[in-house]
Structure 1
């Protein structure tokens, strides 16, 4: 998202109106309660499922996906609408918590109240699934939403609004704010109560700065440089298939896609040979689509050329594989130095770097040596759990890749340059709420502390009680 204002005046002039309208509609949305919101969100899911052929065709035309990638995206999106609708009441409703031995005369509860209006700024690589991970959870939590889709995929954003309007007509609970980066910049300062942004670290930093002046909280999902570690006892054919799909699905344009593979020495040659054979069978236009943003092709080519200039080797493909608007097939690089751009920066294309390590422990160490920390994968038999425990990542797949986004109950997010905050799961619901604590005094106790009517003996008795309770 370019934070420099280049949009036409009309979208910006209407943005304040949309936020005001969303705030006004919030009273009704909160009033219908968890049950009412669940009913309407499940109806939204049904409408989207019935109109699935429309969005699958649209994602192919507008986003350049192959149909298989579009189906996978929509499957995940519908899963999360369903999960958030069905679980919001259980996760967010007021519940009793222990009062503790010194506050036994109080009833203590906590509940999670909606912020109000959430501004969602969506990406172009998954123009339905990724924003739905914020929109559905924010709505299920009782908020209203103003959504700015990527300027590269405005029709997908409009489809989301149209299907929601069919399910929840005339209520302005979900507002659409189409436009370029200027609209996103304006949304950050339009008086929303929280901003959820998905995009690059550089733009995420600008979003954070824009929201800082008003102390508007921000959720940032900023991409990754995800690694797979393959142990000596791994199922090599399964690891090869996972690496190839994890690196090339959606044309490699996945924030949690596999970009680095560290393979233990005893199985390295076998892994690389099999990966090369399988990669030569994968074709652009059939197995994966085009690169959505033309400028990304320059990044992909630069990473390949830099890796080769630093002593890496091209096992499959190379710089000539980058032919606008496509990468003609998977590019497999090997023996790439760890300081190369292809190892440090997000490539966001169907490029896999496969490097040899002595063992899986070294692979974990190298995988963790990154400014990003979003997802990761481990392939092993005996020590898979221990290796996963050592990975610095917000999400880890064991003997699979990219399995976590499909589980509704699991949180999605990272740390470092991958951002902060979580979508999906119970943590994703709570992300769009304010925890609210309450105590209620039930009866008096003979020990008076929180009053100036107390006596000296009360404090002495409290001191003795605290000593007995907490010095054991």
Structure 2
């Protein structure tokens, strides 16, 4: 059986190629060497992708779907090795909704994307005019991914792009290139050459990809600031864009909720991937009548969740992936404490502990304008804000300029749906948070981005709409004199 060390050997830099040592965020020890590609390497990859694309498109949906299904099989054959490499590079534990879960999601998304139907749509057929809407390949797609879910989100980007007859050039995060290089090496076992290429470079490569005249669409998941830069870089070539940007998701617990019954789901809504998830629960609004009970039950669940090295089978929480994110989180928690907020749990990192570990932290009695509430913390710290009326909770939840996801918690689903309809977010979950499904479209509102992923709408987003507008055989088109 292939090990993750043999995976590393497959993706190792070529002799004489520039490389960068990737460190384990749990231990600070080397994981492997990642190639540092250049803009010239990007040019070669885009040229190869453009050359390979017409033949791939000509195969049709059935053949392309069959290739994606074989790619899913390949991912499953290497699942444990991919998960162990992911755990070492990103930091997430093997168990829980983490590394093994992420690799499994890659296979699941490949299969779902391959089997989602997309038929031409008849727009008008009135006996005189027949108009059909088709979706043709765009050409070459650029995919720029993040460091928090590097394998899964890359799959979200490449699977629909390939299914729709495009070829793809991937630019992974500089923090987690090994995971993406390894995943694509496995997927490429089942794909023709030139369809899928990873260029592991720096910001100059990302900027060149976003502005490249031969790339027809860019998909990006990451910060709002970087998303805005991509919009600017893509403007001159009028690229199609799908942007899944920063979120600061609110959850609202209604007065009739059962604190004990929802505590476990609240915890994982906030702390999946140790809080490093765009659509995680990052602000929790709780009605005054059950505020203390929710705090108590949530703290009990959080205190029981083990954090540590991801390769330890007992752990379900890991380190922050990088020191920069650790520093952001520490600053926000310290500012909340200094402002008089009450630390229910955590907030006390051990400076002598190796790795980027920040303890699971719950912060109560915090003002809604505190930076821990208004800025996306992207780590294992959750502010819990008290409210007295539903209107007040909705106003606070909608106050920010982002709107990726939100959630409402109540046994009365009808009442929860009424609140959900008033929230400014791309997805609102009822009695759960952050649960994505390859069949259900997903995208942000406000400055959390635009464009939809997943399901039929996700496939359409990777196609160029084309109307075939034809008269019936018995209809003669009028010709101007």
What's the TM-score once normalised by structure 2's chain length?
0.86
Using the TM superposition, give the Cα deviation of residue 156 of structure 1 relative to its aligned residue in structure 2, in angstroms: 1.0
Whether 2:212 is the aligned partner of 1:186: answer: no
Listed one character per residue, the Cα deviations across residues 222-246 of structure 1 (whole Å, up to 9, x for unaligned) are: 1210111111111322322122112
1:110 counterpart SS class: strand
The residue aligned with 2:44 is: 17
Listed one character per residue, the Cα deviations across residues 68-90 of structure 1 (whole Å, up to 9, x for unaligned) are: 21122223222211111111xx2
The residue aligned with 1:307 is: 336
Listed one character per residue, the Cα deviations across residues 356-414 of structure 1 (whole Å, up to 9, x for unaligned) are: 111444323321111110011111122122122222111122111222x1x21111210
The residue aligned with 1:413 is: 443
CA contact (8 A) 2:82 2:183 kept: no
User: Structure 1: which 5+ runs fail to align?
Assistant: 1-5, 454-472
CA contact (8 A) 2:269 2:433 kept: yes
| Aligned pair partner of 2:423 in 391, 395, 402 | 391
Using the TM superposition, give the Cα deviation of residue 210 of structure 1 relative to its aligned residue in structure 2, in angstroms: 0.9
Using the TM superposition, give the Cα deviation of residue 443 of structure 1 relative to its aligned residue in structure 2, in angstroms: 4.7
Whether 2:107 is the aligned partner of 1:84: answer: no
Change (3 A) 1:399 1:321: farther
Whether 2:376 is the aligned partner of 1:355: answer: no
Using the TM superposition, give the Cα deviation of residue 94 of structure 1 relative to its aligned residue in structure 2, in angstroms: 2.4
| Aligned pair partner of 1:95 in 102, 109, 121 | 121
1:284 counterpart SS class: coil
The residue aligned with 1:64 is: 91
Question: CA–CA distance in 2 between the matches of 1:333 and 1:415?
Answer: 27
CA contact (8 A) 2:269 2:432 kept: no
Question: CA–CA distance in 1 between the matches of 2:266 and 2:90?
Answer: 23
Question: CA–CA distance in 2 between the matches of 1:177 and 1:157?
Answer: 10
Question: CA–CA distance in 2 between the matches of 1:77 and 1:39?
Answer: 16
The residue aligned with 2:469 is: 439
Whether 2:199 is the aligned partner of 1:172: answer: no
CA contact (8 A) 1:232 1:359 kept: no
Whether 2:363 is the aligned partner of 1:340: answer: no
Question: CA–CA distance in 1 between the matches of 2:149 and 2:53?
Answer: 27
| Aligned pair partner of 2:67 in 40, 45, 50 | 40
The residue aligned with 2:3 is: none
What's the TM-score once normalised by structure 1's chain length?
0.88
Change (3 A) 1:268 1:108: same
Compare CA radii of gyration and give the structure with the larger one: 1
Question: CA–CA distance in 2 between the matches of 1:189 and 1:324?
Answer: 40
Question: CA–CA distance in 2 between the matches of 1:324 and 1:300?
Answer: 17
Question: CA–CA distance in 1 between the matches of 2:239 and 2:181?
Answer: 26
Question: CA–CA distance in 1 between the matches of 2:120 and 2:50?
Answer: 23
Question: CA–CA distance in 1 between the matches of 2:391 and 2:258?
Answer: 17
CA contact (8 A) 1:113 1:436 kept: yes
Whether 2:392 is the aligned partner of 1:369: answer: no
Please tell me the root mean square deviation across aligned C-alpha atoms, in Å: 2.1
The equivalences for 1:98-109 within 5 A come to 98-99=124-125, 104-109=127-132
CA contact (8 A) 1:235 1:379 kept: no
Between the two proteins, the alignment pairs up a number of residues equal to 437
Question: CA–CA distance in 1 between the matches of 2:49 and 2:323?
Answer: 35
| Aligned pair partner of 1:122 in 145, 158, 163 | 145
Structure whose residues are more often helix by fraction: 1
Using the TM superposition, give the Cα deviation of residue 10 of structure 1 relative to its aligned residue in structure 2, in angstroms: 5.7
The residue aligned with 1:226 is: 249
Question: CA–CA distance in 2 between the matches of 1:128 and 1:301?
Answer: 27
CA contact (8 A) 2:441 2:455 kept: yes
